[in-house]
Structure formats: C-alpha cells, structure tokens
Structure 1
Amino acid sequence: MKRHVFSTAAFSGAFIAAATFASPAVAQERYITIGTGGQTGVYYVVGQSVCRMVNRGSDEHNIRCNAPSTGGSVANVNGMKSGELDMGVVQSDVQYRAYHGESNFEEGAWEDMRAVFTMHGEPLTVVARADSGIEDISDFPGKRVNIGNPGSGQRNTMDVVMDAFGWDEDTFALASQLDAAEQAAALSDNNIDAMVYVVGHPNGSIQEATTTIDARLVSVTGEEIDGLIEEYPYYTRSVIPGGLYRGNDEDVETFGVAATFVSSTAVDEDIVYETVKAVFENFDRFKRLHPAFENLNEEDMISDGLTAPLHDGAARYYRERGWIE
C-alpha cells in the first residue's frame, strides 16, 4: 500500500464545453461545472486549476469551465447524480462507497460514476488547542470536537473513525458540525478543542489555526486505525512533515485517502477527453498551481485510488499516450 508524505512549495474558472458545430463557421459552446469544496481547501484549488488549464485552450476546443465552492465530496457525488454538476473532486473512499452503494449511498450503487484521474494524497489531519489536553486522537472522548459538516469528506472519514473506536456524538462534550471554512476560527475563539480536516498540505485553514493560537497537529494512530487500513483498500498510512506550520516541528503520523477527479457516463466523451488533455499537456504549469500538486506524477494519477471504471474520454487520452492498453 502506498505511503503518502506531504511536502511544501508554492500556492495558487467559468465553464467547460464541447465543440459542436451548428454550421461550418459557427461553433456552439456548452458549459459544465466542476464540484470542489470549501474555499480554504485544496479541492477548491483543484477545480479552479483544472478550469484554468481548460480555459487556456477554449478558443481551440470551445470548452469553458466553472468550479464553484461546494460542500465537499459527498455533496459533489450527489450533485453529479442530480445533474447539477458534471465533474467533481471526491475522496477515494467516497468514490468507492458511491460506486458500490455503501455508507452514505446505501440507497443504491451509482454505477454511472466514472473515474478520470487521482490527485494528491489527503491525510486525516487533527489540530488541537495546546491547552486542550489532546495528545492523540484517543484523547477525544469528553472534548469539544468539530467532526465536520454533513456531506463533507472529513465528516465521512470521522464517521468511520468513530465507528472503529466505538464512539458516537455523545462521546464528546460537544460534537460540532461546522464546515471547513468555519472551524479554524472556532478553534481560535475557544469554542472547540479540536478540529479535523481531510486535506492536502500545506493548507490555509490549518495555517490560520496554528498561527492565531498555540495549536498542535496530533497523531491518528492505534490498533483501531491499523484495522481500518487493513480492511479498506482506499486508506493508506500518511506522514505530515514537521515544519509546515508554526509550533509543529515534528512529523505527525496519521492515515488518509486520496483526492480523485470523477465524472459520469452522462458527460460527453469529448468533454472529458479535452479536460484530461488540458491537464496533462500543461502538466508542469498545472503542478505549480499549489504545493499539494508538487509530487504528482502521471503513473499514479491514472491508477491510484480509482475504484470506478475510467471514463471513456479519459481512457481515450491515456491510450493515445500509451499509458494504458
């Protein structure tokens, strides 16, 4: 199983469409939307970055792209299923559950989901106030913890962790359900003792939390976590390197998932083909748009964490490049 290590570098929209011709001289644009996440998270940057690459070539392929902020992984899946979104960024575990009809998706497997590529690794990151007494995730009982808003990737992962430890919401003094954009301020204002975030690093929200108060990243380890990694193919052990955030000089062990980019059979093959082509033929430029993209490589992106079948448009491009048969 692959082990993700997160490193640092430098940080960094309106519509996707396919070229269909009403006449030899006039091209009609179609517009689609990519679901992302909170504006402080890397999912938002992923969507914006993909759109930026696509829109650079819009004069040639008549494709434009919009990537608004959304509620996260589960919300993106539901948005694609309803037709409100055409593509989306989704945690690898959420992709698996949606395609197989498990957990949040027990109403039925979404067999029309299609994988496009994998992005960065994402550890479950726990940030606790220095005065909270939390040294490890096992210290959560009796504390005020933001477990994440319903529909978000962190809430989905925390539900799994809570089940593994035998916890429910009554285990905590407070189980708040703030979204990613709200939790750093809540930690700083002493409204919660700890926040959880499934996210690539470095991250602006965690930077905010560790800069405004004394806060530490705490480990997510133990027999319960070992069991989750052994049971589920989409989880990996992860290390968040020390030195990324103020007051956190030591490496922190945890586990996590990967961010994946997905679509559905309802989205035209040419649209997905041009989207994938725009990313991989501007790959060096794309990787410079956020530190979490620094260590991306093509081989991992077309294989790791993809539990749904490849979209026909993505597969077509990968075959042209000789990456798959």
Structure 2
Amino acid sequence: MVSIHGHRCLIVVLFTMLLTGAVQYNNSVAYAKTTVVTIGTGGVTDMYYLTGGAISHTIHAKRKLHKVRALVEPTEGSAYNVNTVMAGHHAFGVVRSDHQYQAWKGLAEWDEQGRQKTLRSVFSIYSESMTLVVTEKSGVTQLSELKGKRVNIGSPESAQRRHAIDILQAVGLDHQKDIQAEAFEATDTLRLLQNGRLDACFYTVRHPSRTIREVTSGAFKVRLIPIAGPRIQAWLKTAPYYASSQIPMNYYPEAIHREDVPTVGMKVTFVTSIKVPVLVVYAIVKDVFDNLDQFKKLHPAYALLTKKSMLEGLTAPLHPGALKYYLETGLKP
C-alpha cells in the first residue's frame, strides 16, 4: 500500500518529467525555427534589387542547415537602405560605398543625424566603375589630355558630377578652369558624343552596360580611357570608399581598342546593423563565399568578383558575424 507521502513524491516526479519534456520540446521547436530577414534593395528593375535576389537565392539552398531565409524588398535605393537598416526596418541593405562611408562618418545626408554608430559592413559586391569615354577625333589617350576639351561631368548636385570632380582633382585638373565642363544628364551623353558636341564624358556605371555598348558601336568611334597611375593610387588612399576596378573590353567588341581598361569605382556593398545576430550574418557570408563560383554566374556584373575584392570599399566596421568567417578562412589576418 502506497502512503500519501509516496503519492506526493510520485506526483512531483511525474510533474518534473512532464515539465522537462515540455522545455525540451519548446527548445527543439525554437532551434528548428527559421529566422527570416529582409534585404532593402532598389527599384524592381534596378541592379540593387537583382543583387538582393542573388544573395537570397544563394542562401536559400542552405536554409535547412542554417535556418535563415532572406526576403528581398524594393526600396528607394542606397541612402534609404542605410536609414531603414539603422531604424530596424530591414536587417540588411544594398548600399553604395560612399553612402556607407558618409553614414559611418556622419557626413552629407547624415550631417545633422551624426555618425551611424550601429552600422556594420558585411561584404562588397560589384563595382560601379568610373568610365571615361572620349571620341577618337578628340585625340585624347590619357586623363591629363582632357585639358581644354569639352567634357560632360554630370548635372549639378548629382553623384556623377561629384565623382568626376574627384577624379579630375586627383590628377591636378580644375573642372572650372582646365576643361570646358558641361552639365548634361547622363542619358543625353550618347547623342552629344555621337553628334560631335562633346569630346568626352564621365559615366559611373556597372559593366557590362547597354549604354556603353551603344556608344562604342555608334558612327563616331570612341575609346575608354584608363583612370589609373601613381596619382590615382595615391588619391585612393585618401578616399577609402573608392576601389580599383577593371572594365573588360570583351563586353564592347566594336570599341576601337581591345585592351581591358583599369579604372576606379564605387563598390556596391552589403551592410547590416550590430543588432543583427552573429550567427545570422555568419550564415549569409558563409553561403555566399563558399558558393562564390555559383554566385558569379547569376549576373555578368559579378564575373570579376574575388573573395579578396569583396572586402574592398568597406569603411564601417565589419559585423562580428562577417569577421568570424573571414578569420576562420584566412581572409582577414
């Protein structure tokens, strides 16, 4: 016959077993639960949107292993993505390297808000290369020969114009004194080059570019001029949001030269917030870098990517999850 005391002990044991089982069950459910994150990109026809899709596609294949899924959301673009990541509306954002730099330093659009101290970089992707196109008739074969020429540097207040002025200043040219600077929209440049109203134009664009393909196949023969050399390399050390890049001329078979063109450009980068969990960021970086060959096939703009180049143009500190992967693989000493 079991005593009352014995009954009470039995009940306590059974209750403890049930409670332990419930906790274990809940833990297993939590462990199995997939973390869903959002990526702020650009317009649905924009390369930023396609890039967010490429990252999402790459990590989707490993979702059962890492328990991470990424949803791509169209947005107003780079600067907007910085702000939504900082506000917690997106976990990740596709952001141009100069905007990353400005946000981290509290410059330009972030002058009043101050430094975005929780911004973290993850990796960079393709380059938006500074492309200097000149007509054959102009006789220009190098950057310094733009002096006295009619050069479109972009419309007032545009990023295009700021980039062109940066390059000119780097080689000692004053856009107000040394060239005949024009302020046309980039979309007008093709027509103006082809009808002889311009000798040259600066154009910031990813490659391959339909616009550059069209201008190199027009009636007026054109060439792409290198933006390189000791003065450019020295200047790059003062402008960490720029990085060296290269324009493959096999993209433009009707240009009058076949040699690839060294240049510089803005990096399109992938950013997040320090508040995003380490293991989530680590999983995304690992999936992209471990499957880089497959990732590069998703768009021609990714063709020249290397693991080393994907750490260029980053000015905000690396997120600990990204750093964990780079240290494990020797990409960071």
Deviation at 1:285, TM superposition (A): 0.9
Instruction: Give distance in 2, aligned partners of 1:82 and 1:163.
Output: 36
Letter aligned with residue 68 of structure 1: P
Instruction: Give distance in 2, aligned partners of 1:76 and 1:169.
Output: 37
Instruction: Give distance in 2, aligned partners of 1:40 and 1:131.
Output: 34
Aligned to 1:77: 82
Aligned pairs for 1:53-72 (under 5 A) are 53-58=58-63, 61=67, 63-66=69-72, 68=74, 70-72=76-78
Deviation at 1:314, TM superposition (A): 1.8
Deviation at 1:97, TM superposition (A): 3.4
Aligned to 1:110: 116
Q: 1:37 to 1:237 in 2, by over 3 A?
A: farther
2:150 to 113, 121, 143: 143
Q: Is residue 124–residue 270 contact of structure 2 (8 Å, CA) maintained in 1?
A: yes
Q: Whose helix proportion is higher, 1 or 2?
A: 2
Aligned to 1:24: 29
Aligned pairs for 1:163-312 (under 5 A) are 164=170, 165-167=173-175, 174-178=182-186, 182=187, 193=198, 194-212=200-218, 214-220=221-227, 225=232, 228-245=235-252, 246-247=254-255, 248-301=257-310, 303-312=311-320
Counterpart of 1:157 in 2: which secondary structure? helix
Percent identity of equivalent pairs: 33
Q: 1:198 to 1:169 in 2, by over 3 A?
A: farther
Unaligned segments of structure 1, at least 5 residues? 1-20
Letter aligned with residue 89 of structure 1: V
Counterpart of 1:109 in 2: which secondary structure? coil
Structure number with larger C-alpha Rg = 2
Q: Could you list the per-position Cα deviations for residues 105-126 of structure 1 after superposition, in whole angstroms to 9, with x for gaps in the alignment?
A: 4442222221111334553112
Bigger mean CA deviation after superposition, 100-109 or 282-291? 100-109
Q: Could you list the per-position Cα deviations for residues 27-80 of structure 1 after superposition, in whole angstroms to 9, with x for gaps in the alignment?
A: 576441232589575x554333112213334466251321537544x4543453
Alignment of 1:314 with 2:319, yes or no, is no
Instruction: Give distance in 1, aligned partners of 2:155 and 2:56.
Output: 27
Counterpart of 2:217 in 1: which secondary structure? helix
Aligned to 1:101: 106
Q: Is residue 228–residue 235 contact of structure 1 (8 Å, CA) maintained in 2?
A: no
Q: Normalized against structure 1, the TM-score is what? A: 0.68
Q: Is residue 92–residue 234 contact of structure 1 (8 Å, CA) maintained in 2?
A: yes
Counterpart of 2:251 in 1: which secondary structure? coil
Letter aligned with residue 176 of structure 1: F
Aligned to 1:125: 131
Deviation at 1:299, TM superposition (A): 4.3
Alignment of 1:47 with 2:52, yes or no, is yes
Deviation at 1:264, TM superposition (A): 1.9
Counterpart of 2:70 in 1: which secondary structure? strand
Letter aligned with residue 127 of structure 1: V
Deviation at 1:276, TM superposition (A): 1.6
Instruction: Give distance in 2, aligned partners of 1:254 and 1:321.
Output: 29
Counterpart of 1:297 in 2: which secondary structure? coil
Bigger mean CA deviation after superposition, 31-40 or 110-119? 31-40
RMSD (CA atoms): 4.3
Unaligned segments of structure 2, at least 5 residues? 1-25
Q: Which has the higher contact order (CA 8 A, sep 6+)?
A: 1
Q: 1:259 to 1:173 in 2, by over 3 A?
A: closer
Instruction: Give distance in 1, aligned partners of 2:249 and 2:292.
Output: 28
Q: 1:37 to 1:126 in 2, by over 3 A?
A: farther
Q: 1:227 to 1:31 in 2, by over 3 A?
A: closer
Instruction: Give distance in 2, aligned partners of 1:170 and 1:77.
Output: 36
Would you say how many aligned residue pairs link Structure 1 and Structure 2?
298
Q: Could you list the per-position Cα deviations for residues 194-248 of structure 1 after superposition, in whole angstroms to 9, with x for gaps in the alignment?
A: 5433344333332233235544323435886465235334545555344431224
